[in-house]
Structure formats: structure tokens, C-alpha cells
Amino acid sequence: MFSWLWDTWYTLLRYLRTFVHNPFWMLILLIQPMIWLVLFTQLFQSITTLGFTTGSYVQFFAPGLIVMLAVFNANALAFRLLNDINYGVLVKMIATPVNRYALITGGLLYIAVTWVLQVIVVLIVSFFMGAQVATGVGGILMTFLIVSLLGIGLTGLVAAIAVTMKRPEPVVLIANLITLPLMFLSSILIPAYLAPQWIQNVMKFNPVNYAILAVRPLFLTGFDWTAISQALAVCAAFALIAIFVETAAFRRFGG
């Protein structure tokens, strides 16, 4: 237990130290959500005329962007792992007594930390663009909880693919294949009722959609406990499955 916690901590520190050596990467990571916030809210501005209950698109899109960032960050761990595999680092690590689960949890935490930093940027910038969080600090913490579970699920699955395939090309293909559909087959960008019926049906199988359905009311109106409990159940199950699959992939890694 202690070795798991400490090994997780050192694994996390190792990933984060990359930013100390490359502060420019950190800068890009933080500018990215600002650009999206501005671009998306400009592009989709006119959607509000279709009968939105919320006043502005920023108010509608800010929680969507927070979920979207979790989807887009899912590949980042996979690429660090592929780099470690390519340079023979991972194979060295599994020859040490390091806790196996720590290699996984440390990586997932690293993605969570970068995501939280991006969310803070989104919250600050969208606040200045006129968006507010109806449920305050409690709502933000609930957002962190729900979307972290979603992020663990997505990140873990892509990481499992990376550790199994051991080459970047198929991982890029698969990640590109699933990322955009996950986003478009949810109500991140537009409310569900504006989407065709078949998409609304597919949304029911998309964990990303459950997350946004629970998170958006936290920003617009208040705690929607039905949506929150559904999102927590779906995202927690998703995260557990992903950790299980990733653990299995790590176990098979050495052959």
C-alpha cells in the first residue's frame, strides 16, 4: 500500500518534471483551452438563436469544453508510454521492484493534473467572458470528480492500446477514430434536442454524454442529482473497466 502511494508519487513527479525542463510545453497546454474557448464560442454563437434557455453560448460551452479537454487529453499518456517503450525505459522499470499499479496510477494522475490546470484556465477566462458557475465551489468539485472518472476511463483505454501495440501508428489511428465521434455523439457542442434522433439514441451509450449531462446543470442551474448519480455510476464503471484493461496490458507487456 505504502509502496503503491510512494511509487505513484515519484512516477507523477517524473512526468510533471518534463514541464520544468520544457516550460514552453506548459504554456501551449494552457493557451490551448483559451483558443478553443474563443473559437468555439465565436463559431457557434448563432446557435443560441435556435431557442436556447441559456443566454450566451459561453455559458453553455464552458462546461462542454471542460469535458472535451478530458477527451482530448486521453492520448497524452499513451504517447509518453510509447516514448518509454521505444527508448526501452518501460522494460527497465518493470525489472525493478516498483509497484505495478503505481506506474498506471502515476500516469493517470499526471493527465489529471494537466487537465485540472486547463480547467482552471477555462473557468477564469469564461468568467471574464460572462459565464458563471451556478453551484459555486461545490459544483466545481463535483465537476472534477465526474470528469476525472471519465478521463481515467478514456486515458486508461488509450494507454492500454499503446502498451499492447507498442508502436505509435496504430495508436494515432485508433485515437483519432474514437476521439471526435465521442465528442460529436454527445451534447458537448449543442443541446441534445437539436441532434437527429439516431444520434440522440447513440448518445445513451456514450459515457462522455453522461458526464456533460451532469456537469452542465452545475454551471447553468443547480445540482441535478438524477443526472449526477447516473454520470457517477457510468463514469466510475468505465474507469474501473479501463484500469482493469490497462493493468492486463501492463501484465502482458514483457511477454
Partner 1 sequence: MTNIVETHGLTKIYDKTIRAVDDLNVEIREGEIFGLLGPNGAGKTTTIHMLTTITRPTAGSAQVGGHDVIKEPRKVRAITGYSAQEAGVDEYSSGREYLTLFGHYYHLDRNTIQTRANELLELLELTDAADRLVATYSGGMRKRLEIGTALMHRPQLLVVDEPTLGLDIQTRVRIWEYLRRLNSDGMSILLTTHYLEETDKLCDRVAIVDHGRVVALGTPAELKGEIHGDVVSLTFPVDETEQYTQMTAKVRQALSGQDFVRDVQPAGEALNVYVDQGGVAVPQILRLLEANGVTVGEIALARPSLDDVFLKYTGRKIREEKGKAVGARAAWMRRPR
Q: Judged by CB under 8 A, does residue 159 bind partner 1?
A: no
C-beta separation of 4 from 99 below 8 A: yes
Q: What is the CA radius of gyration of the chain?
A: 19
Using CB under 8 A, which of 31, 89, 120, 233 touches partner 1? 89
Q: Judged by CB under 8 A, does residue 248 bind partner 1?
A: no
Contacts of 20 (CB under 8 A, 6+ apart): none
Cell of 227: 443526472
Using CB under 8 A, which of 5, 27, 28, 87 touches partner 1? 87
Q: Judged by CB under 8 A, does residue 96 bind partner 1?
A: yes
Q: Which is nearer to partner 1, 19 or 223 (CB)?
A: 19
Q: Judged by CB under 8 A, does residue 95 bind partner 1?
A: yes
Stretch that binds partner 1, among 2-10, 150-158, 215-223, 227-235 (CB under 8 A): 2-10
C-beta separation of 210 from 231 below 8 A: yes
Q: Judged by CB under 8 A, does residue 27 bind partner 1?
A: no
Stretch that binds partner 1, among 27-35, 89-97, 189-197, 217-225 (CB under 8 A): 89-97
Q: Can you tell me whether residue 222 is helix, strand or coil?
A: coil
Q: Judged by CB under 8 A, does residue 166 bind partner 1?
A: yes
Burial label, 39 (beta-carbon count in 10 A; 0-12, 13-18, 19+): exposed
Q: Judged by CB under 8 A, does residue 205 bind partner 1?
A: no
Q: How far is the CB of 253 from partner 1 (least distance, A)?
A: 8
Q: How far is the CB of 17 from partner 1 (least distance, A)?
A: 6
Question: How many residues interact with partner 1 (rule CB under 8 A)?
Answer: 27
Q: Judged by CB under 8 A, does residue 17 bind partner 1?
A: yes
First to last CA, the chain: 26
Stretch that binds partner 1, among 67-75, 78-86, 182-190, 232-240 (CB under 8 A): 78-86
Q: Report which of 223, 187, 229 is spatially closest to residue 208, judged by C-alpha positions.
A: 187
Cell of 100: 505495478
Contacts of 108 (CB under 8 A, 6+ apart): 77, 151, 152, 155, 156
C-beta separation of 17 from 8 below 8 A: no
Q: Which is nearer to partner 1, 18 or 45 (CB)?
A: 18
Please list the alpha-helical segments (H only) found in 73-206.
74-86, 89-93, 100-128, 136-165, 168-184, 197-203
Using CB under 8 A, which of 10, 127, 205, 244 touches partner 1? 10
Q: Residues interacting with partner 1, by CB under 8 A? A: 3, 6-7, 10, 14, 17-18, 21-22, 84-89, 91-98, 166-167, 254-255
